[in-house]
Chains A and B, each alone.
Chain A
Amino acid sequence: MQSFFDLVGFEYKKLFKRRSTIISLVMVLAIAVITCITSITGHVYWSSGERIPLLEAMRQDREVITSKAGYMEEAFIREAIEQNAIMIANNDNYIINDYGKHLKSSAYMNYILPYEKAVNIINIIYERNIENLGTNGIELFNTSTIRPIDKLRTEDAAGFYEVINQTVQNQINGRTLLSEGEKTKHFEMLSRVETPYYNDYFQGFLTFARLLQVVALIMMIAMAISISPIFSNEYQTKMDQLLLTSKYGKSKAIAAKLFTGFSFTLALAMITLFGLLLSLQVLHGFRGADVAIQAMDVFSTYPLTMLQASLIAILVVISTTLLFVICIMLFSAWIKSAFLVVTMSFLLLFMPGLINISAKNRLLYQLLQLFPAKATMFSNIFSEYFFEIPGIILTPPVFYVIFSILMASLLTPITGYVFKSHQVE
């Protein structure tokens, strides 16, 4: 066993002696830092109407929303309806001109912002206008039309979660692209969604969900560049002859290479993704872990909090990355040119992102979802479309992880075999 880890040590030495590895790692780090910096620099018009630094706006947002942190129970919903009613009753809260009636920023800040999530959910759930639903019903600054919350009475707060449940069930039933099995699974999941929802500031998790795909793809570019030479470099430097004639050249050396590829990937993916999540939490004040995923998308049936959803998304991205890396290693053992391996890896990474297939063609649609460009999207990870295997229905996160593990288990020995049976001619 010691000899195996000695060989792993040498593989790491080879990896880090390559300039391409260092450059790609620096690139990931630089992009991560730039992403974090740009997400807190600059100025914005805050709800109060004044132009303030973004960091300050985030702090003030957090302050207002966290002042009402807690479970969105009946009293909270009633308060939200009440505050909205007070706001719309007073014309001083509006700027009225030839173009219509516009809510003042200060009014929004006072009456809506503390209850923002509840108001958003109400406006979606009670919306009967399908077109407005298409835009999630969130156009709070435009009050020229009557919003669903404007028509609610405080007594309606009592049935808030029943209405949500019923509306979501109606939505599921109305989805023609969902199979009966999927609908049943959705209902089962919906029954496990905990109510009342928890209200808190969760911008850190929202930003994480938004950045996940971009960061994951950049990380995979770095991996493609770093891992591509793992086998092909042996051919290019003509070291294959020495390697394959040595005692461990066809056994432990190959295992050490594969282990190095996987462990490097795992370490880099964990550092990058947990680093991203952690740094966003630092920036946004470690809040929102208990907020239900429904605060992001009220029609989601996943019974998860934002923290759970983020950790599951990380697990999915890591398993997808491991599968991507074994593909790179297979290309590397097979193609023999690091440049071609990188080219093929980039095609594998980006080509599927350019293709769009409707869920009507379910098989093709789901095959496409297995590629990194799709499987790393937060919305795809928690998609409404499930994977149906005869007799069993798996949600995307479960399927992605199982699929990645199975495929990696299949491709790993094939990769080893391809290198082992290489003929020096």
Chain B
Amino acid sequence: MELSTDCLTKQYDKKIVVDRISMTLNKGVYGLLGANGAGKTTLIRMMCGILKPTSGEVTFNGVDVTHEDYRDALGYMPQFFGYYPEFNAMEFLCYMGCLKGLTKKRARERSKELLELVSLTDVAGSKIKTFSGGMKQRLGIAQALLNNPKILILDEPTAGLDPKERVRFRSLISQLGEDKIVLLSTHIVSDIESIAANILIMKGGRLLHKGTLEEITALIEGKVFECNLDRTAAEALISKYPVINLRYQQDRTLLRLVCEEKPCVGAVNAAATLEDVYLYYFSEVNPNAKLF
């Protein structure tokens, strides 16, 4: 099972949104991490066949993204999930099931299973327009799973979910990753950290890094420091380095930051996390930054 992109590029006039991305994904959960505007959604749309690349190609086991067999293997949950307000959850899923090639009977059975999985059985007959954001999100996840897809692409799937739902969702994704290619795009680092075996980091339309959590965090190993400083010293550091965490303790400030070398006397090296990596790549240093 192999999902590949080859030199995938999307350009609008002079702006390159996705820049020659080549990658191969196999079974497992992949976390696509990037700040807003990094090109994640554009990349995903091209991988789903709803946006034509300027150049490059996407294939699954050699089948082109434009082919019906590719779509047959695909489950997609977009960032902004569309629905028919007048449909109820069951009708909506049955319709999506038919679109995905299920018979009406099978679509109904599968819809029931999935409504249970996403805890929407009680509201199966309610109109979608009456659903909360979290409920709609869960319905979106359910529709993506209808055809038991081999490729599951989820664009910001946990937005709008409460912490309990998020935990449930993470374990569900982990299970799905056992026999599918799951690509999870988000900027919620903790989601990726807890379920993605492989992490892809995107910035400015380019794929910066690809690897396991250990491989990715190893990139900044020895560059994460913690220090306890007075206000003046802390202000000097936050205007110079990307700050990961900042905590006030009486008249002192506890700083966690990423930098190439020890930022000050007394700074202690800390074990790098994915959040550190994210901030290292995506936070911008403000030279005029001040403490409150």
* Chain A residues within CB distance 8 Å of chain B: 2-3, 6-7, 10, 13-14, 17-18, 234, 237-251, 253, 421-425
Contact = CB atoms under 8 A, between A and B. Distances in A.
B44 to A, nearest CB: 10
Contact of B76 (A2, A245, A251): A245
B84 A423 contact: no
A245 B74 CA distance: 7
B78 A250 contact: no
A424 B80 CA distance: 12
B91 interface: yes
Interface in B49-86: 49-52, 68, 71-72, 74, 76, 78, 80-86
B257 to A, nearest CB: 38
B51 A242 contact: no
A237 B50 contact: no
Interface in B74-106: 74, 76, 78, 80-87, 91, 94-96, 98-101, 103-104
A424 B98 contact: no
A240 B103 CA distance: 21
Contact of A10 (B45, B71, B76, B98): B98
A163 to B, nearest CB: 66
Given A2-B103, A247-B72, A424-B51, A242 B96 contact: yes
A62 to B, nearest CB: 49
A421 B51 CA distance: 9
Contact of B82 (A6, A238, A422, A425): A238
Contacts of B143: 242
A79 B45 CA distance: 83
Contact of B71 (A18, A237, A246, A421): A246
B84 A238 contact: no
Contacts, number: 89
A136 B206 CA distance: 81
B84 A245 contact: no
B99 A239 contact: no
Nearest to B52: A423
B101 A251 contact: no
Contacts of A2: 103-104
Given A10-B95, A242-B76, A245-B50, A237 B84 contact: yes
B147 interface: yes
A324 B210 CA distance: 54
Given A247-B72, A424-B50, A424-B51, A241 B100 contact: no
Nearest to A424: B50
A248 B100 CA distance: 6
B32 interface: no
A423 B74 contact: no
B82 A3 contact: no
Interface in B18-52: 45, 48-52
Contacts of A3: 98, 101, 103
Contact of B83 (A10, A239, A248): A239
Interface extent on B, as a size class? 20 to 34
Interface of B: 45, 48-52, 68, 71-72, 74, 76, 78, 80-87, 91, 94-96, 98-101, 103-104, 143, 147
B84 A246 contact: no
B76 A17 contact: no
23 contacts: A3-B98, A3-B103, A6-B98, A6-B103, A6-B104, A10-B98, A14-B84, A17-B86, A18-B86, A239-B83, A239-B84, A240-B82, A241-B78, A242-B78, A242-B143, A245-B74, A246-B96, A247-B71, A247-B101, A247-B147, A422-B50, A423-B52, A425-B51
Contacts of B80: 238
Contacts of A246: 71, 96, 99-100
A345 to B, nearest CB: 22
B76 A248 contact: no
Contacts of B83: 237, 239
Contacts of B86: 17-18
A246 B49 CA distance: 10
Kindly name the residue among B49, B84, B103, B143 whose own CB sees the greatest number of chain A CB atoms within 10 A: B84
Contacts of B85: 237
| 8 tightest A-B CB contacts, nearest first | A238-B82, A246-B99, A239-B82, A17-B86, A424-B50, A247-B101, A247-B72, A241-B78
